[in-house]
Amino acid sequence: MYNSNNIKKNTVKYLQQKKNNGEKISMLTAYDFSFAKLFDVANIDILLVGDSAANVIAGYETTLPITLNQMIYHGQSVVRGTKKAMVVVDLPFGSYQISDSDAMQSAIRVLKETGCEAIKLEGGSASVVSLIKKMTTAGIAVMGHLGLTPQSIHQIGSFGIQAKEEKDAKQLMQEVMDLQEAGCFAIVVEKIPAKLAATITQIAKIPIIGIGAGNQCDGQVLVMHDMLGMNSEFNPKFVRKFIDLASIITRTTIEYKEAIENGSFPSEDEAY
Ligand code: KIV
């Protein structure tokens, strides 16, 4: 599929080929135009407009408060900044749990109003599997999300590692198979033992994207603020801060303030 810039967008087929060829898939969250543009230039395969926007953009403790309209706003901004990456938008809590018809309307709104390529939703229960089947039958590209599913945090009780016990691991593997059967083109597995994620990745035909799931998955995803080290108070084991932007931004902002206060900004060259 070519866009108006004549650049070929990353497709479901492209991601499947990467898995088949043993090439790793890169995925990163994005919530606005400017960062999406930078990540797209860096050739990230998939930009995820995550409902983690509720945490890192809006400052909530869980992902539950973010609304469908807010996700659509973030999705539109990311799509405008993206030429090549596949853009996946999370369906937020409450937008697909009431009824299948409500869920279909939410997914269709996201696709129509943002121009993204796919949606992601959480869970592997029978009702979610049946909903995904309806969506994929309608031609919607759906990414699944299993393991730690933050929208169910009050049921799960903690953000700890999931599927540590054998029976939970077996159930998770079954859910992966069910989601694949329902037509998901890829599945995110969050915070599960690396060994289990490796087995799932071997068994599944579709790409498995890990977060806190070891390095044997077909690809990896991180929240952009974690990857860029923008929150010095959030340091879970699975996050690698590729740069310490929090320090850089604070230091630079202090320099800016000092330059204002000592009168060196703006200089003559920076004035009309
Ligand atoms: O919302 C999000 O950022 C996510 C990733 C953690 C996978 O779902």
Residue type, 80: R
| Total of domains in the chain | 2
249 and 211, same structural domain? no
84 and 130, same structural domain? yes
Q: Is the CB of 50 under 6 A from ligand 1?
A: yes
197 and 126, same structural domain? yes
214 and 153, same structural domain? yes
157 and 59, same structural domain? yes
Kindly state whether residue 2 falls inside one of the protein's structural domains. no
179 and 221, same structural domain? yes
Q: pLDDT above 90 covers what percent of the chain?
A: 97
Domain that holds residue 40: 12-241
Residues 145, 122: Cα–Cα separation, whole Å: 5
71: Cβ–Cβ under 8 A, 6 or more apart, which residues? 49, 51, 53, 89, 90, 91, 92, 95, 110
Kindly state whether residue 85 falls inside one of the protein's structural domains. yes
Kindly state whether residue 215 falls inside one of the protein's structural domains. yes
- How far CA 251 is from CA of 226, 256, 257, 269, in Å, comes to 19, 9, 10, 24
153 and 127, same structural domain? yes
Read off the pLDDT of residues 217-228 as tens digits, 9 standing for 90 and up.
999 999 999 999
155 and 198, same structural domain? yes
237 and 255, same structural domain? no
Q: Which atom of ligand 1 is nearest to the CA of 63?
A: 1
264 and 208, same structural domain? no
Q: Is the CB of 114 under 6 A from ligand 1?
A: no
pLDDT at 149: 98
157 and 62, same structural domain? yes
256 and 186, same structural domain? no
Kindly state whether residue 73 falls inside one of the protein's structural domains. yes
Read off the pLDDT of residues 153-165 as tens digits, 9 standing for 90 and up.
999 999 999 999 9
Instruction: Find the 256 Cα to ligand 1 centroid distance in Å.
Output: 33
Whether residue 73 contacts residue 58, with contact meaning beta carbons closer than 8 Å, is answered with no
pLDDT over 90 at 1, yes or no: no
Read off the pLDDT of residues 88-134 as tens digits, 9 standing for 90 and up.
999 999 999 999 999 999 999 999 999 999 999 999 999 999 999 99
Q: What is the CATH number of the domain that holds 35?
A: 3.20.20.60
Read off the pLDDT of residues 183-217 as tens digits, 9 standing for 90 and up.
999 999 999 999 999 999 999 999 999 999 999 99
Residues 78, 191: Cα–Cα separation, whole Å: 26
Residue type, 109: R
Read off the pLDDT of residues 35-91 as tens digits, 9 standing for 90 and up.
999 999 999 999 999 999 999 999 999 999 999 999 999 999 999 999 999 999 999
Mutate to test the pocket of ligand 1, among 31, 159, 211, 230 (most ligand atoms within 8 A of CB): 211
Kindly state whether residue 7 falls inside one of the protein's structural domains. no
DSSP string, 28-93: EE--SHHHHHHHHHTT-SEEEE-TTHHHHTT--SSSTT--HHHHHHHHHHHHHT-SSSEEEEEPPT
Kindly state whether residue 1 falls inside one of the protein's structural domains. no
Active site residue 190: yes
